[in-house]
Structure 1
């Protein structure tokens, strides 16, 4: 199937769904994520399956094939390198970069993207802690636990903060929590960082990941 923003968005959403949890995405979840009618999603998934990019049985979850995963990783790589570039080189805040990257990921040439990667020192993670696939589509992640699943007393580094909600990102940053910070869990919304206890919004329990 020729490259297109619509196809790339489908593959990227399927890929992203299982990065930080094991359950595969269902057609209804995919429709909700993309804000499309279920009938439209069903039709596109059938096309993706015919092209060997996904596997899917009626009413069952959707998985990427090796070819689909490689293509999705390429788009994810573009998106996350652009986000990192905007933060480091242009002073964007981490809650401002997602929409810009959504536009630019379809516009930059491979040559320019390679130049950005080299300029940034070939980073492994974007500003939110998501892994940046390398040019071969490979990623490297540490074992992790979602904050809501972490036991009181668990200590680890903040690996990732979901970029789904810009307002939540701003609240997490205002509380003094950053990717890479060493934290100890008090409960699902409270962390101790550098000796100080910080309280996060309730939604952060499902949006912050720590190292094991």
Structure 2
């Protein structure tokens, strides 16, 4: 996966007020694009994530490259500099703490929180974020299972793989659910496919497309399409282990 696999590297603590909201969005989008993928982060991908034209994204990337926050070789991928990474992690931390707060304290569903957190992450103070963290008991993961970076550290996302790559017959536990699609999140919630849920990957049935799994918490069998299975990041475990928690 991307550079997020580098565990427990200490960094300094930047301030949100140091950057404009637009700069914050660019840096966070680069981090998010490479957190769960080894594919190069392209200008087109950043444009898609930010909802802007390719020319606008290219201009922004040039600007933040000149400021020492990004690196972008001609016809190459976009990368964060060490300083850019510090700011990106600050924004990722803000976003995921706010999502957790909205779900745990304000009763939002996990498919409703992304847009709200996108707005709030630029508006609240560093003190507000610190107090939310304390109120929530310093959570390590957001409602979707994404790691919440501790102040001054890179999150560790090792030991996870996508469900569609798990061999038949193995038992796994869901650790992270992609939040790219609100509709898919609602589907997962309906079937009890949330972080901490144990699954057994079963043998595919003849003439049936999809990946059949047995859901430990509900006792039901679900057949997942490849797109849905790829949105579930799991850890291989064994029945009865402490990993089912």
**Shorter-normalised TM-score: what interval?**
over 0.9
Provide the aligned C-alpha RMSD in A: 1.7
Q: Which structure is larger by alpha-carbon Rg, 1 or 2? A: 2
1:15 corresponds in structure 2 to 31
For residues 60-119 of structure 1, give each alpha carbon's deviation from its aligned partner in whole angstroms, at most 9, with x where no partner exists: 111111111110000010000000001111111100111110111011111111111011
TM-score, length of structure 1 as denominator length = 0.94
Aligned to 2:3: none
Q: For the residues of structure 1 that align with 2:128 and 2:51, how far apart are their CA atoms?
A: 31
Q: For residue 55 of structure 1, what is the aligned residue in structure 2?
A: 71
| Structure 1 residue ranges, 4+ long, deviating more than 6 angstroms after superposition | none
Partner of 1:31: 47
Q: TM-score, normalised by structure 2?
A: 0.82
Give the number of the structure with larger relative contact order, counting CA–CA contacts within 8 Å between residues 6 or more apart: 2
Counterpart position of 1:206: 230
Is residue 164–residue 226 contact of structure 2 (8 Å, CA) maintained in 1?
no
SS at structure 2 position matched to 1:183 = strand
| 1:180 aligns to 2:204 (yes or no) | no
Question: Which of 217, 221, 227 is 1:197 aligned to?
Answer: 221
Q: Report the 3-state secondary structure (helix = DSSP H, G, I; strand = E; otherwise coil) of the residue aligned with 1:199.
A: strand
Between the aligned partners of 1:154 and 1:23, the Cα distance in structure 2 is 27
Q: Give the secondary structure class of the aligned counterpart of 1:36.
A: coil
Residue 201 of structure 1: how far off its partner (Å) = 4.9
The SS at the match of 1:124 is: coil
Tell me how far apart the structure 1 counterparts of residues 161 and 169 of structure 2 sit (CA, whole Å): 13
Q: Which runs of 5+ in 2 are unaligned?
A: 1-16, 205-209, 237-245
